[in-house]
Structures are given as C-alpha cells and as structure tokens.
C-alpha cells in the first residue's frame, strides 16, 4: 500500500503507464473502506463486485495497448442522487429505497468512459436538503477527522469518503453549498462549477436552477482532472452550456501574479467564527505574497441571499419532488383511492426536512403569495447578479470563508432549521448567480477541525479560479499545525 500512488493524477498516470494495476489500486481502497466504513458510514452502497469488474476492464485495455482514459483505474465515489443504471439510487430517502434507475446519468457515463472505477454510492442529506447529512434516512455520516462531528452536507458521504481515503475523488452536488461546505468541514477540496458547465441529466433534481454536480478531491490538481472529465455540453440537458470542457490542469502552475482578489466584506464579519475569518485572512496574505493584489469588496445583495434561496430552492423542490407519488417506482403505501395513496406514500416516505421544504416551497408559490415571496426572491437574484458583476469589474476573483464555522457536533443544529440554514450563508450567493466557486483546505480552526477558504469566480472563470486555488493549496498550513 505504501508503494501505491494515492492521488488521482498519480494513479491514472501509473495505471496508464502499466506501472501499477487498477486491480491493486482498487484493493487498497476497498481495504481502507473495510477498515473504517463501519465507523464513518460514508456509503449507502459499496460496489465491490462491480468495481472489480471495472478495474479488470481497465487493466485489459492497458494490456491491449488501448487508451484507458484520463481517469484510468482511479477509484471514485458517487453521491447517491446520481442515477446509476441497475444500481440502487436512493437519494438517502425511504421513498426511493431500492429503486434501480434504467439509465446512467451523463456524468456517470463520462467517468466510466474515462476509466474511473466507481466504488460506491455515498450518503447524503435526503434529496440533497441539508448541511450536515443528519437528514439521511439511512443514518448520518461521520466526519473522518472527528466522528462526533458532522461531515457537513448535503454531500457529506462524498466528502467523508475522500477525507477517509476510501477514494481519491468523488462526485457530489451543490445547490446552496452542498459540495463546498462539506469539503471545508472535512478538510478536502470541493468545487461547484459554473451553472451549466456540467450536465444535470441523471442528477435527481432538488432545485433545478441552482443544482450543479462537482468534484471532491484531496488536491486541487485532482479536482481539475475530474472536472475536465465530466464538464462540457450535453444535448440531453437544455441548460447545458454549449461549449467543450475547459482545460484546467495546465492552468495550475501559472501562479497569481497580478490577479486582483477581493475579500467579500459581508462574509467576513458578523456571523463568521473568528478562527475561520483569521484563516481566510491568512490565505489572503499568502496570495498577496505570491503576487496577487488583495482588496476588499462589498456584495450587499449577498446578505439577502439566504432569504432568497430559502424561497427559490424549496419552491423548485416542491415541484421536483411531486413525482414521488407511489405510482411508477419507489415506495407505495396502499390506500383505497389514488389521492390517499399519494398522501400516505409521501408522508411515510419523506423525512422531516424534506417535508418542511416542500411545504415552504408550495406556500411560496401559491396563489396570493407568489409575488411577495417567490416573485420577490427572483428579483433579489437579479440584485445579486448585478452586485457580483460590479465586483468583478474591479476584481478577477473573490475570497471568503466557505462555512461560518468548523464542523459542529451531531444534534447541535438539526432541530433548529434556521440555525442549520445559516451554514450556507457564504455559499448560497454563488448558486443564485450561477457562478463557480471552490473550497480549498487551509489549516485547522481553534478546535483542530479543518477550515476551508472559498474562491469565487465569474461565470466560466474556472481557469483563473483553479490557478488561485493551487497557490492557496501551496501555502496552506497542515491540519496538524496547531492553532495560534
């Protein structure tokens, strides 16, 4: 195991060169899963047999002199809201327990075509609604750094799988921060791409105008490698940008000389834990030392982001989740009439947070309230877009914390929805604007738990964003470095 490469970039290179087999790489990771999965519960389903077959296929291609792909032999975990043909896709909900999609999500097809080896479907907050993975119907996932604490959410399983060494890379989804926040809490890299850069076909929808699929990894380079493999136009997704995948790996060592980077005022003050803010300033100093120009910028509409998000996202979700009615797939609780059957099924099948958001969303859209709530929220969205546009006239990138705090303890916030929603205050504005953002680990907080700093870029600004991320990564203190 000590001899085997551990990053995706290194594994793929070694497998492609025939230096190491996909099978042995997989075995090492399955062993890691065996060792700690019982404690962490990152997976809803481990796909050992399927993975072995996939690894064997990669090895056969290498042996035959064929190109096995840029992710050859790299173990990869998939959030359990990504459709995998013939393999249960539950969204961590009782209502989809056991459902086997008859098709693969586009990103699933692309990573398979790239030679990646899917090792399992990871746990999430039910239907991606949550910031701690405590809302899963199949039990929470634990933070590998401290199992008494949450891994964040909703992609807690995908973040934990990478942090625990179960797979070097994983895919999650981000609607209000669900990749970036768990990445920060678990001490890994997490990226939300520009809206429309990665196909949503096969991603079980939560909020359609906000959802994006993105990578988790331990290094910025690995995130670039994975994002390159899944990004690019998909004719099956009408909201997919008509452009090929961007080239990111070759951007990483360009450095940050002359880049103008702005600290977001509204996200550095009240509501942000002091140790987190301090780490962000430390990252800013590091970027300055590497040649970037650091400034401060106000994005006033960002402070309305939380309210707008908690009207728009539940509204879309209330509609997206209507299809779970017990008729065609998933759970059915029988009743004498169809309407009663629908209600009994949904009542039994959905968890508390999902119900809460469905009702909130239904209310926000209903007759008499549309203008005051949903209608208004769409206008706030315009203000946010405008504020970001103004900010990006003066700066190339923005910088902020990813999460207001480090990982909290189980049970601390789950009964207070508003407290839980406040976890997303730094990440939500970028979803509303459709912009890319990523979290890069930057040392530990006062409690020894990981802190992530967030880089924000304008639409399709991934190349610049990754450049700066590489510089932040290079300067990042290790987790073990004590807080001072």
Partner 1 sequence: MSDRLTRDDVAKVAELARLVLTDAELDTYTDQLGAVLDHAADVAALDLADVPPTAHPLPLVNVLRDDVVAPCLDRDEVLAQAPAVEDGRFRVPAILGEEP
Partner 2 sequence: MTTVENLTHEPVEGEHFTITSDTTGDTWEIVVGLEVHCELATATKLFCSCPNVFGDEPNTNVCPVCLGLPGSLPVLNRNVVELAMRLGRALHCRVEPSVFARKNYFYPDMPKDYQVSQYDQPINVDGWLDLPDGTRVGIERAHIEEDTGKNTHAGGSGRIHGADYSLVDYNRAGVPLVEIVGRPHIRHPEQAKAYIDELRAILLATGASDAKMEEGSLRVDANVSVRRVGDAALGRRCEIKNLNSLRSLGRAIEYEARRQVDLLESGEVVKQETRHWDEGAGRTRPGRSKEEAEDYRYFQEPDLVPLDPGAEWIAAVDEAMPALPAQRRTALAEAAGVEPTATAVVVAVQRDLDELALTAIAAGGDGGRVLLHVEHNLAVEGARSLDPTHFAQLVTMEVEGKLTATQAKTVLSDMVESGKAPDVIAAERGFEAMDTSELEGIVDGIIAESPDEWADFCTGDEKRRGKLQGFFVGKVMKATRGQADGKAVNAILESRRLAAG
Which residue lies nearer to partner 2 by CB, 2 or 367?
Answer: 367
Tokens representing 44 are 């809803």
Write the binding mask 24 to 53 for partner 1: x where contact by CB under 8 A, - elsewhere: ------------------------------
Cβ of residue 430: shortest distance to partner 1, in angstroms? Answer: 10
Instruction: Assess 362 for contact with partner 2 (CB under 8 A).
Output: yes
Cβ of residue 45: shortest distance to partner 2, in angstroms? Answer: 16
Q: Are 217 and 226 in contact (CB under 8 A)?
A: yes
Q: 3-class DSSP state for residue 237?
A: coil
Q: 3-class DSSP state for residue 121?
A: strand
Q: Are 362 and 225 in contact (CB under 8 A)?
A: no
| φ/ψ of residue 153, rounded to 5 | -165, 170
| 297, containing H or E segment | strand 293-297
| CA nearest to 460, candidates 236, 226, 189, 241 | 241
| Binding site partner of 434, from partner 2, partner 1, none, Cβ cut-off 5-8 A by kind | partner 1
Q: Are 112 and 118 in contact (CB under 8 A)?
A: yes
Cβ of residue 151: shortest distance to partner 1, in angstroms? Answer: 24
| CA nearest to 405, candidates 246, 181, 122 | 181
Instruction: Assess 356 for contact with partner 1 (CB under 8 A).
Output: yes
Instruction: Assess 97 for contact with partner 2 (CB under 8 A).
Output: no
Which residue lies nearer to partner 2 by CB, 9 or 124?
Answer: 124
Instruction: Assess 258 for contact with partner 1 (CB under 8 A).
Output: no
Instruction: Assess 307 for contact with partner 2 (CB under 8 A).
Output: no
Sheet with 43-46: strands ordered across: 43-46, 117-122, 75-79, 169-174, 212-217, 189-192, 437-444, 450-456, 397-401, 260-264, 293-297
Q: Looking only at residues 206 through 225 of this chain, which bind partner 1 when binding is defined by CB under 8 A?
A: 209
Cβ atoms within 10 A of the Cβ of 322, count?
12
Write the binding mask 373 to 392 for partner 1: x where contact by CB under 8 A, - elsewhere: x-xxxxxxxxx-x-------
Q: What is the DSSP letter of 483?
A: P
Residues acting as catalytic residues: 79, 154, 178
Tokens representing 137 are 């119907």
Instruction: Assess 300 for contact with partner 1 (CB under 8 A).
Output: no
Instruction: Assess 122 for contact with partner 2 (CB under 8 A).
Output: no
Using the rule CB under 8 A, give the single segment among 31-39, 312-320, 350-358, 452-460 that binds partner 2: 312-320
Tokens representing 218 are 């331990």
Angstrom CA distances, 323 to 2, 193, 204, 205, 212, stand at 48, 27, 11, 11, 21
Using the rule CB under 8 A, give the single segment among 141-149, 266-274, 347-355, 436-444 that binds partner 1: 347-355
Q: Are 471 and 397 in contact (CB under 8 A)?
A: no
Tokens representing 168 are 């070097």
| Binding site partner of 25, from partner 2, partner 1, none, Cβ cut-off 5-8 A by kind | none
Kindly tell me which residue out of 366, 394, 411, 481 binds partner 2, with binding defined by CB under 8 A.
Answer: 366
Which residue lies nearer to partner 2 by CB, 7 or 362?
Answer: 362
Tokens representing 113 are 């075509």
Tokens representing 418 are 């508003």
Cβ of residue 336: shortest distance to partner 1, in angstroms? Answer: 6
Q: How many residues interact with partner 2 (rule CB under 8 A)?
A: 44
Q: Looking only at residues 61 through 100 of this chain, which bind partner 1 when binding is defined by CB under 8 A?
A: 99-100
Q: Looking only at residues 373 through 402 of this chain, which bind partner 2 when binding is defined by CB under 8 A?
A: 374
Instruction: Assess 311 for contact with partner 2 (CB under 8 A).
Output: no
Kindly tell me which residue out of 61, 279, 346, 413 binds partner 1, with binding defined by CB under 8 A.
Answer: 346
């Amino acid at each position: 195991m000590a001899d085997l490469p551990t990053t995706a970039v290194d594994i793929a290179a070694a497998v492609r060169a025939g230096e190491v087999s996909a099978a042995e790489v997989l075995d090492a990771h399955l062993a890691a899963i065996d060792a700690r999965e019982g404690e962490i519960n990152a997976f809803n389903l481990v796909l050992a047999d399927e993975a072995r077959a996939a690894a064997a296929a990669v090895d056969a291609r290498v042996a035959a002199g064929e190109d096995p792909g840029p992710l050859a032999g790299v173990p990869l975990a998939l959030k359990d809201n990504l459709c995998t043909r013939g393999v249960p896709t539950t969204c961590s909900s009782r209502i989809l327990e056991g459902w086997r999609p008859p098709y693969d999500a586009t990103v699933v097809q692309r990573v398979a075509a790239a030679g990646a080896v899917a090792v399992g479907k990871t746990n999430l907050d039910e239907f991606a609604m949550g910031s701690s993975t405590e809302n899963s119907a199949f039990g929470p996932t634990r933070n590998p750094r401290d199992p008494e604490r949450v891994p964040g959410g909703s992609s807690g399983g995908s973040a934990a799988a990478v942090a625990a060494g179960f797979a070097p890379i994983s895919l999650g989804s981000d609607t209000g921060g669900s990749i970036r926040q768990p990445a920060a809490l678990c001490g890994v890299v997490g990226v939300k791409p520009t809206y429309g850069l990665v196909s949503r076909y096969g991603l079980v929808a939560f909020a359609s105008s906000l959802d994006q699929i993105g990578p988790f990894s331990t290094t910025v380079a690995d995130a670039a490698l994975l994002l390159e493999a899944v990004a690019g136009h998909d004719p099956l997704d009408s909201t997919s940008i008509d452009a090929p995948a961007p080239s990111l790996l070759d951007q990483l060592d360009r450095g940050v000389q002359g880049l103008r980077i702005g600290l977001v005022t509204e996200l550095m003050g009240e509501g942000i834990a002091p140790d987190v803010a301090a780490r962000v300033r430390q990252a800013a100093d590091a970027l300055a030392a590497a040649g970037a120009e650091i400034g401060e910028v106000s994005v006033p509409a960002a402070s309305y982001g939380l309210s707008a998000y908690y009207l728009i996202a539940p509204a879309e979700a209330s509609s997206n989740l209507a299809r779970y009615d017990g008729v065609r797939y998933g759970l059915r609780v029988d009743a004498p009439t169809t309407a009663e059957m629908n209600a009994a099924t949904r009542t039994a099948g959905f968890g508390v947070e999902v119900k809460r958001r469905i009702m909130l969303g239904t209310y926000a859209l209903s007759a008499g309230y549309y203008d005051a709530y949903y209608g208004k929220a769409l206008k706030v969205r315009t203000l946010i877009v405008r504020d970001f546009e103004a900010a990006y006239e003066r700066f190339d990138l923005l910088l902020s914390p990813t999460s207001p705090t480090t990982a909290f303890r189980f049970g601390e916030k789950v009964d207070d929805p508003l407290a839980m929603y406040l976890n997303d205050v730094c990440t939500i504005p970028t979803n509303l604007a459709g912009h890319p953002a990523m979290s890069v680990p930057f040392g530990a907080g006062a409690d020894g738990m990981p802190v992530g700093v967030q880089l924000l870029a304008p639409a399709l600004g991934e190349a610049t964003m990754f450049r700066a991320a590489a510089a932040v990564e290079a300067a990042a203190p290790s987790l073990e470095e004590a807080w001072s």
